[in-house]
Structure 1
């Protein structure tokens, strides 16, 4: 399942996506007929308040979950029909995840955390370590490679998480509230890194409740009550 990704073409297409959760006898429509297209190389923010459905959207876009109904096409492949193992291949090869809570393993130092996706991808020792160090240098943490998460600030931990996301060179970075646990200065620095990654050719999908963060993307997709209510290009 080797897919070549490049050029300005449709990368992601969601068509009439529903995600329904059962709570007792009640059906909760977390996503309610969502249709969305994202082109290769775009920087898109999916923005909405808590409970709007944006986290469910992230899980579906990131192949962490599948829709109850509707079609998800990724590079001309119908994601909604793939099994768990096939979804794992897509996640590992094509999507780099950056989470609000960093999701670093506390007992591993920075370079070991960055090596994890490379280990899963079957990359061997010396080449794996070289790549992890290269990515930590790229996010400005070359002098912190042997520090554990508890020895790093929140902003530094998020840089490690970005280095980990980049380690396998995925075409898509999916960032879920990446500045949510950071102070203003650190949050600004993380957004600058994401902008640089976009300029280098990565497709960036940013999930946020913060409109000031969302406005740093090229395009804002506003979601409320499981529906897209606005989809606009950001000016300026």
Structure 2
């Protein structure tokens, strides 16, 4: 299957005083369409930096990152923002919902940035909430929802533009184990439905629910293995 994410010899460096720190050091990684990949590493390993670059939230110092054949470093900031909105759905540990908006309004937000009509926005937002079994709570604000419900709203928001890539950053980190399992079941369902899933986590039990585990340490990829289902 064709690669949707192609990273070659990626370096991300920061200058701190007189020192140069390599958050990522010669990272190469390929992710195929419809793959479910977990990127695992402890705090400070570089996985968050890698996530930001995969998510088009940051640009590498050197090396190449192509998303569906497009070299990300060639985009202007405005072009990158538009490309990111179409190509990537984000799911964050802290949900990142706006408290003043209800669930359906939060889900609609990516379509507002695309200039979609209010009627179509609402129809697509309701459909996305139905996918995560939360249509009956669509008029509730985040403060009126449990943590698990808030994360399901965030997943619906990530789905609203039908992006080919779902980037999930510690999506179960603020949830109890039962709710975390429900969220992972939703992500596995999205993978089966054709989305490419990139999961960032420090938890190996969560990572093992992906089909492939990539480990990162001190800014370098140290292993890349398929998950055995035996």
Matched position secondary structure for 1:143: helix
Q: Mean alpha-carbon deviation: is it higher for 24-33 or for 74-83?
A: 74-83
Q: Which residue of 1 aligns with 2:166?
A: 173
Pairwise CA distance, 1:89: 1.6
In the aligned structure 2, how far is the partner of 1:98 from the partner of 1:120? Answer: 18
Pairwise CA distance, 1:23: 1.8
| Residue 218, structure 1, aligned to residue 211, structure 2 | yes
TM-score (norm 1): 0.96
| Alignment coverage as a number of residue pairs | 229
Q: Which residue of 2 aligns with 1:208?
A: 201
TM-score (norm 2): 0.98
Pairwise CA distance, 1:177: 0.3
Pairwise CA distance, 1:29: 0.7
Q: Which residue of 2 aligns with 1:40?
A: 33
In the aligned structure 1, how far is the partner of 2:93 from the partner of 2:52? Answer: 14
In the aligned structure 1, how far is the partner of 2:194 from the partner of 2:69? Answer: 20
| Residue 19, structure 1, aligned to residue 26, structure 2 | no
The structure 1 segments of at least 4 consecutive aligned residues displaced by more than 3 Å after TM superposition are none
Pairwise CA distance, 1:45: 0.3
Q: Mean alpha-carbon deviation: is it higher for 208-217 or for 69-78?
A: 69-78
Pairwise CA distance, 1:80: 1.8
Structure 1 residue runs without a partner (length 5+): 1-7
In the aligned structure 2, how far is the partner of 1:207 from the partner of 1:71? Answer: 21
Root-mean-square deviation over aligned CA pairs: 0.7
Pairwise CA distance, 1:81: 2.1
2:103 to 105, 110, 115: 110
1:1-236 matched pairs, under 5 angstroms: 8-236=1-229
